[in-house]
């Protein structure tokens, strides 16, 4: 059964349980025309992929409240013109949905904050459209949290690139302003997207409800060359409208085992971040929006890297690197690329399929372990499908030109303007040779093995046995832990199970570090993949 944000807060206050300990597994799909030819057929096929993965999304006991479903599409310019919105030429305006409080006064307050920040950035809020929504199909729980949904239209900027960056800046400033108000506690405000290239329709819906809830998606004039869909199985955070996927650039099927450390490290490095494209970053912080899911946090960082000037594959390779140890047969240049970036970006590790798009480029990749498979198919008439499983759309065999699967740590990307498919080797070698990473490492890296203090250390230890007892070391600690580390220079390998009494409950004296345990994630998802 799904809970409201207020019920979640109350439950956490009454108990020692934290909903941060939950994990997830979802379904993702990507449908596109290789040459970016926009049509309603692409949107329709994207919705079909979503609906055929209904088993990957969870529902409440009422069979009407879903954990979340959504679709990312290119901005349907012709459809918008037919709505009577006097928008300028394609690329000279930005648009996106925004979730607002149902209370009229609070909604007005939010819109005033939006308008004020847009004008401060030298932009113009051209229009605000009421987005049609079929609320009658919602279950009781999703209906109780349903937001008021508006579509914003913003103009300004010298060109599309400048406007795209300004829209990112203004959105972050709006989020910061709202976060300081009382509305932040209610979780009733959220900017779904604000871009010149793409937009997202999503909500606390089932996979089958998305097209019915948003009538826009069924209009024959609603066209796109890309459709990225997501069906949510919400277990790492409880369902809310804003946590439905896709996010602004990413659809994520899986979990991030290292999420707490990733968030802390991003917060820790904010004081040293710089960007010529984004200017003063103080008003854009934090990079990671608080209170969101692990997937949303990853999307925040991906978007920040891309807006700061990184290419989409560069940012993805930084965030989710493949294994670059001696056992992986990749080039020395690529290993140097990964080692260089590991210095200032920790991997967002965990079993995952990641589908991504910035409105022109679209693609997918797997984490280094490949525990969330993704399969792709290309037809002779330039249709491409990537999804969590095969059969999401029935395709007759004679139409199939190529099919395959993504391998652990590997990536595929399509440029829909040029109609070109970039496979992993081409993408990664291009990244590896863009800069002399190996040379930079050789010149600037300091190895601990090369550092010598010049002192000699005596190995004799008088009263050895007494000191072991005095300092709390056992024979097992020496034989199983210390000696293997000294001889091989590696961490000892053992099972995850530990039946030793917790130090805090032990009647015997304990060393200080026995009171601490290394935190790790144990994947417990059912083997649906």
Place of tokens 């508006």: 150
Q: Is 84 helix (H, G, I), strand (E, B) or coil?
A: coil
Which tokens hold the place of 430?
Answer: 């291009």
Catalytically annotated residue among 26, 28, 413, 431:
26
Sheet holding 420-422, edge to edge: 250-254, 352-357, 361-366, 411-415, 420-422
Beta carbons of 322 and 408 less than 8 angstroms apart: yes
Residue 389: Cβ-neighbour burial (10 angstroms; 0-12, 13-18, 19+)? middle
Contacts of 325 by beta carbon, 8 Å cutoff, 6+ apart: none
Count CB atoms within 10 A of the CB of residue 93.
26
- Where helices occur in 246-361 by DSSP H, the ranges are 259-268, 294-307, 312-319, 332-342
Sheet holding 383-387, edge to edge: 198-203, 69-74, 226-231, 27-33, 383-387, 375-379, 400-405
End-to-end CA distance of the chain: 24
Q: Is 404 helix (H, G, I), strand (E, B) or coil?
A: strand
Q: Does 26 qualify as catalytic in the annotation?
A: yes
Which tokens hold the place of 388?
Answer: 């969590």
Which tokens hold the place of 483?
Answer: 């000696």
Cross-strand partners of 356? 250, 363
Beta carbons of 2 and 239 less than 8 angstroms apart: yes
91 in the Ramachandran plot: left (φ > 0), alpha (ψ -120 to 50) or beta? left
Count CB atoms within 10 A of the CB of residue 322.
23
Q: Helices 259-268 and 294-307, interaxial angle, to 10°?
A: 40
Angstrom CA distances, 336 to 366, 442, 443, stand at 20, 10, 13
- What is the C-alpha separation between 295 and 347, in angstroms, rounded? 14
Contacts of 155 by beta carbon, 8 Å cutoff, 6+ apart: 87, 88, 92, 93, 94, 123, 124, 126, 163
Enumerate the active-site residues: 26
């Amino acid at each position: 059964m799904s809970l409201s944000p207020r019920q979640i807060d109350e439950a956490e206050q009454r108990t020692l349980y934290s909903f941060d300990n939950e994990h997830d597994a979802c379904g993702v799909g990507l449908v596109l025309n290789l040459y970016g030819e926009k049509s309603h057929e692409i949107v329709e096929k994207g919705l079909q992929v979503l609906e055929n993965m209904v088993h990957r999304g969870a529902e409440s006991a009422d069979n009407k409240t879903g954990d979340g479903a959504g679709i990312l599409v290119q901005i349907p310019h012709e459809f918008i013109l037919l709505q009577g919105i006097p928008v300028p030429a394609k690329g000279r305006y930005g648009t996106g949905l925004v979730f607002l409080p149902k209370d009229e006064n609070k909604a007005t307050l939010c819109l005033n904050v939006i308008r004020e920040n847009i004008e401060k950035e030298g932009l113009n809020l051209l229009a605000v459209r009421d987005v049609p929504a079929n609320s009658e199909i919602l279950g009781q729980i999703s209906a109780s949290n349903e937001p008021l949904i508006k579509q914003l239209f913003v103009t300004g900027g010298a060109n599309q690139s400048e406007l795209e960056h300004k829209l990112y800046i203004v959105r972050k400033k709006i989020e910061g302003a709202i976060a300081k108000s009382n509305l932040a506690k209610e979780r009733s405000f959220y900017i779904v997207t604000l871009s010149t290239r793409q937009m997202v329709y999503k909500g606390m819906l089932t996979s089958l409800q998305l097209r019915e809830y948003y009538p826009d998606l069924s209009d024959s004039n609603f066209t796109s060359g890309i459709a990225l869909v997501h069906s949510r199985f919400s277990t790492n955070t409880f369902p809310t409208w804003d946590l439905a996927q896709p996010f602004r650039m990413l659809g994520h099927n899986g979990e991030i085992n290292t999420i707490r450390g990733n968030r802390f490290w991003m917060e820790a490095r904010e004081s040293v971040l710089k960007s010529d494209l984004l200017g003063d970053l103080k008003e854009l912080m934090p990079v990671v929006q608080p209170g969101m899911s692990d997937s949303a946090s990853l999307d925040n960082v991906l978007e920040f890297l891309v807006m700061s000037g990184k290419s989409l594959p560069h940012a993805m390779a930084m965030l989710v690197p493949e294994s670059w140890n001696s056992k992986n047969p990749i080039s020395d240049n690529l290993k140097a690329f990964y080692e260089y970036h590991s210095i200032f970006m920790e991997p967002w590790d965990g079993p995952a399929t990641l589908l991504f798009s910035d409105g022109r480029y679209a693609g997918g990749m797997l984490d280094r372990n490949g525990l969330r498979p993704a399969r792709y198919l290309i037809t002779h008439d330039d249709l491409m499908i990537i999804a969590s499983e095969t059969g999401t759309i029935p395709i007759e065999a004679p139409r199939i030109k190529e099919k395959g699967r993504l391998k652990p740590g590997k990536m595929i990307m399509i440029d829909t303007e040029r109609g070109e498919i970039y496979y992993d080797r081409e993408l990664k070698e291009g990244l590896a040779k863009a800069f002399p990473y190996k040379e930079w490492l050789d010149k600037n890296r300091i190895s601990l093995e090369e550092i010598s203090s010049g002192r000699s250390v005596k190995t004799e230890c008088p009263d050895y046995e007494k000191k072991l007892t005095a300092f709390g070391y056992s024979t097992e600690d020496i034989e199983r832990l210390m000696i293997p580390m000294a001889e091989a220079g590696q961490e000892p390998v053992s099972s995850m199970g530990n039946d030793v009494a917790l130090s805090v409950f032990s009647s015997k004296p304990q060393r200080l570090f026995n009171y601490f345990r290394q935190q790790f994630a144990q994947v417990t998802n059912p083997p649906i993949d």
